[in-house]
C-alpha cells in the first residue's frame, strides 16, 4: 500500500467525485482512477460505489477513512516540524487572505521579492478559510478572531470602508452626496450567495426595498463597475481613496470597520521564511495604517 494511493482515496472521499478530486490533487483523472484501483486491489475490496451524484464510500471505505485521515494528519504534522528544523529563509510561503487584504498586499510584494530573491510567496485570495493544521496555507489573514485558540495570533490593524461613486455618476446624481443616496441612486454590490458578508447586511438594511442594479461575485468586478459609473458601492478606503476616478461620499463607516489578524500554526511560527513574511506583513500594515483606516483623505466629498 502506498501513501500516494491513500491520498487519492482521501481526495475522492472528500470531493465525492473523480473529476473534483483530480482538480484538487492536480492530477489527471486517469491517474486518479489508476491509483484508486491500485489501492482497492492491494486491499482486496471496493472502496467506492458509483452513484448518479458521484462516488459514495462502501462499508470498507468508511472503515478506512478515519485511519487514512489519521495518516494524513500525521504526515502534515511531520511536514510542519520538518520546516521548523531548517534555518533557510528561502522557499515557498503560502498566504491566504480575503479579497480586500489580498488586494492590499499584492502591490507591495515587489519590494519583498526584490530583497529576498530565494523567497516565493503564494498569495491566495479566497472567501473560504484554509485549515492551518493541515497546511492548506502557512499564514492566514482574517478579520475577527477565530474560535479555535491554539493558533498564534498577531494583530495587524483596522481596515476602513466608505461609500464611493464615479465622478461622472456623482456629478449627475446630486442625491449621491446626501442620505437620499440610499433610495435615489443605483448601487453595485455582491451577488446573492454573498449576502452574509457584513458589508452586504449593512447595505441591504439601508436600501430597504431597493435592490442593487449590478451584482457581482468578486470585489474586483464591483470595483470596475463602480468606476464605470454603474452605481455607488462600498469599497475599502485604501482602494477608493487612491483612485482618481472615484469620489468618497462618506466618512469611514463605523459598522464596517474591522480589525484584522495574522494567524500561523505554532509549529511554523519560528520557521525563518514564515517569520520573515510575518514580519513583512506586519510592517506593511503598520506603514499604511492611515490609508487603510481612511484617515486624512483630502478628496472626500460630502
Residue carrying C-alpha cell 470595483: 223
Higher pLDDT: 170 or 301? It is 170
Helix segments in the chain, DSSP class H: 3-15, 18-25, 29-43, 59-85, 99-105, 109-115, 167-172, 181-184, 198-207, 219-227, 237-240, 272-287, 289-293
Contacts of 296 (CB under 8 A, 6+ apart): 290
* 78 has pLDDT over 80: no
- For 54-59, which contacts have Cβ atoms below 8 Å and span 24 or more sequence positions? 54/16, 54/17, 54/20, 55/12, 55/16, 55/17, 55/18, 56/16, 57/13
Place 28 in a pLDDT band, splitting at 50, 70 and 90.
confident
Look at residues 263, 266, 237 and name the one whose alpha carbon lies nearest to residue 250.
Answer: 237
**How do residues 4-24 score in pLDDT, each as one tens digit?**
788 888 888 888 888 888 888
What CATH number belongs to 161-256? Answer: 3.40.190.10
Q: Which of 229, 221, 233 is nearest to 181 (CA)?
A: 233
Give me the pLDDT at residue 300, please.
Answer: 46
More confident residue, 85 or 285: 285
- Kindly report the number of other CB atoms within 10 A of residue 255's CB atom: 11
Task: Record the cell numbers describing residue 111, joined without a space.
Answer: 519590494
Question: Average model confidence (pLDDT) for the chain?
Answer: 87
Q: Do domains 91-157+258-289 and 161-256 have the same CATH topology?
A: yes
DSSP designation for 26? T
Residue matched to cell numbers 482515496: 9
Lowest model confidence (mean pLDDT) among 55-59, 145-149, 213-217, 250-254: 145-149
The domain locations on the chain are: 3-85, 91-157+258-289, 161-256
Please tell me which of 68-72, 231-235, 271-275, 292-296 the model is most confident about, judged by mean pLDDT: 231-235
Dihedral angle sign, alpha carbons of residues 176, 178, 182, 188: positive
- pLDDT for the residue numbered 141: 95
pLDDT value for 124:
93
The pLDDT, as a whole number, for residue 302 is 42
Domain 91-157+258-289 bears CATH identifier 3.40.190.10: yes
> What is the share, in percent, of the chain residues with pLDDT greater than 70?
91
| Of 161 and 7, more confident | 161
How many other C-beta atoms can be found within 10 angstroms of the C-beta atom of residue 116?
16
Q: What is the pLDDT of residues 220-248, one digit of tens each?
A: 999 999 999 999 999 999 999 999 999 99
| pLDDT interval class at 79 (50, 70, 90) | low
Residue 55 near residue 48 (C-beta atoms within 8 A)? yes
Q: How far is CA 211 from CA 139, 208, 224, 253, in A?
A: 37, 8, 19, 20
Query: According to the CATH classification, is domain 3-85 in 1.10.260.40?
Result: no
- Phi and psi at 29, nearest 5°, equal -60, -35
The set of cell numbers assigned to 130 is 484554509
Report angle CA 115, 277, 273 to the nearest 5 degrees: 85
Amino acid at each position: 500500500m502506498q501513501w500516494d494511493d491513500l491520498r487519492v482515496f482521501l481526495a475522492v472521499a472528500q470531493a465525492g467525485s473523480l473529476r473534483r478530486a483530480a482538480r484538487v490533487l492536480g492530477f489527471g483523472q486517469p491517474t486518479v482512477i489508476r491509483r484508486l484501483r491500485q489501492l482497492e486491489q492491494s486491499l482486496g475490496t471496493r472502496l467506492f460505489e458509483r452513484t448518479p451524484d458521484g462516488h459514495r464510500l462502501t462499508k470498507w471505505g468508511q472503515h478506512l477513512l478515519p485511519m487514512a485521515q489519521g495518516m494524513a494528519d500525521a504526515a502534515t504534522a511531520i511536514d510542519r516540524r520538518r520546516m521548523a528544523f531548517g534555518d533557510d529563509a528561502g522557499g515557498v510561503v503560502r498566504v491566504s487572505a480575503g479579497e480586500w487584504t489580498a488586494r492590499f498586499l499584492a502591490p507591495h510584494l515587489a519590494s519583498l521579492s526584490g530583497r529576498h530573491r530565494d523567497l516565493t510567496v503564494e498569495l491566495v485570495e479566497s472567501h473560504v478559510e484554509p485549515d492551518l493544521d493541515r497546511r492548506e496555507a502557512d499564514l492566514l489573514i482574517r478579520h475577527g478572531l477565530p474560535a479555535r485558540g491554539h493558533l498564534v495570533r498577531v494583530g495587524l490593524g483596522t481596515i476602513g470602508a466608505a461609500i464611493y461613486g464615479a465622478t461622472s455618476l456623482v456629478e449627475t446624481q446630486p442625491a449621491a452626496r446626501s442620505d437620499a443616496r440610499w433610495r435615489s441612486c443605483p448601487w453595485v454590490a455582491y451577488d446573492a450567495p454573498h449576502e452574509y458578508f457584513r458589508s452586504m447586511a449593512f447595505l441591504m438594511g439601508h436600501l430597504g426595498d431597493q435592490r442593487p442594479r449590478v451584482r457581482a461575485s468578486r470585489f474586483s468586478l464591483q470595483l470596475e463597475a463602480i468606476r464605470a459609473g454603474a452605481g455607488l458601492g462600498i469599497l475599502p478606503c485604501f482602494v477608493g481613496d487612491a483612485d482618481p476616478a472615484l469620489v468618497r461620499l462618506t466618512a469611514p463607516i463605523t459598522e464596517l470597520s474591522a480589525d484584522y489578524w495574522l494567524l500561523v500554526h505554532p509549529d511554523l511560527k519560528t520557521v525563518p521564511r514564515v517569520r520573515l513574511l510575518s514580519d513583512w506583513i506586519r510592517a506593511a500594515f503598520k506603514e499604511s495604517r492611515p490609508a487603510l483606516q481612511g484617515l486624512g483623505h483630502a478628496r472626500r466629498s460630502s
